[in-house]
Amino acid sequence: MNNGTVIYFMQDVKSGFPRLFENKYKGIILTTLAAVLFGITPMLASFSYSMGGTPETVTFFRNVFAIPALLLTLCLKKIPLSLPWAVLRSIALLGIIGGGITILLLYMSYPYIGIGTATTLHFLYPVFVCLICRIFFKERLGRQKMIVLLIAGAGILFFLDIKEITHITGLVIAGISGLTFAIYMVGMEKKKIVELNSLVITLYLAISVSVFMLLYNIPTGKIVLLLPLKAYFYMFILANLASFLAILLLQLGIKYLGASTASIFCLFEPVTSLICGGFFLKEAITIEKIIGCILISSAVILLATDKSNNSLCKIYESTD
């Protein structure tokens, strides 16, 4: 085929079938691991909050502290950092949208509707991802994925605490935070950024969010610099789990699965947060949340075993 393009068709049992499903399960494992790591972060963030840190402080330092580890890894691997200006601009924009604006909107919604409800509404972002892919990129979702999405959406709604909803503004802001994160996920795939070196992308994402948070801090003064050493330790661990390892795994997951499928596997994040909150923070685990976990897990398992999922049939191009 022209330009060395090789398409791995489902019917090609000899070559395409094994390669396709190898990539599918790689994507599932990587995205699920990313979701689990992201799910641990609220617990670590809460430790920093209890020592005087603000959400803006944690957002800033979780990116700043990831930069040295990324630079060291890139230097040891002798990976060049140079990228075309147009690519850097796209990465910076997506970083600000996904790692900056999304987090700020989510935090802004907390005073209106509570942390639990806001986070629940934010985790409806897989719906936005699928809608964006369908409306703007004409992707076929398929009946199986639609069923999975409905089951997962119902599961997320079981995390919703109606008593926390006191203002429509909070609902809108939390919903928009889900939309902006969906734009980030789709942009990473459609701009073909995930096809670049994942470590380089992660570095520039961390730098972009760090600069954005510094600029945001000029008029607001929300970043607290004088904190106990233990708070910095928690933020350092958080940075290397979330802004280094989890972001890296998520990019690879999007690369192998596509944004819409990867977003559904990301729903393991609230399940992980619930388990961590119950075991380490002594938070209440209600029957509703248990049902939500079961529904989300069922949806993810259903998607993982779906062999007819068209979004997993990726096209690999050779640059030779």
Q: Indicate yes or no: pTM above 0.85.
A: no
Residues 89 and 83: their CA atoms lie apart, in Å, by 10
CA-based nearest residue to 256, from 205, 202, 313: 313
In a domain, 10, yes or no: no
Residues 68 and 190: their CA atoms lie apart, in Å, by 29
Tokens of 136: 């703007």
Q: What is the pLDDT of residue 141?
A: 78
Task: Please give the chain's pLDDT, 320 residues, in tens.
Answer: 444 443 433 344 344 445 555 788 889 999 999 999 998 888 888 889 889 999 899 999 999 999 999 999 999 999 999 999 999 999 999 999 999 999 899 888 877 877 777 878 888 899 899 999 989 998 887 888 889 889 998 998 888 877 766 778 888 998 999 999 999 999 999 998 988 999 999 999 999 999 999 999 999 999 999 999 999 999 999 999 988 999 999 999 999 999 989 999 998 888 888 888 888 878 778 898 899 999 999 998 888 877 654 443 343 333 32
In a domain, 170, yes or no: yes
In a domain, 115, yes or no: yes
In a domain, 152, yes or no: yes
Q: What is the pLDDT of residue 312?
A: 39
The structural domain count of the chain equals 1
In a domain, 13, yes or no: no
Q: Which domain holds residue 94?
A: 29-311
In a domain, 23, yes or no: no
In a domain, 205, yes or no: yes
Q: What is the pLDDT of residue 308?
A: 55
- Counting beta carbons within 10 angstroms of the beta carbon of residue 50, is it exposed (0 to 12), middle (13 to 18) or buried (19 or more)? exposed
Q: What is the pLDDT of residue 112?
A: 82
In a domain, 89, yes or no: yes
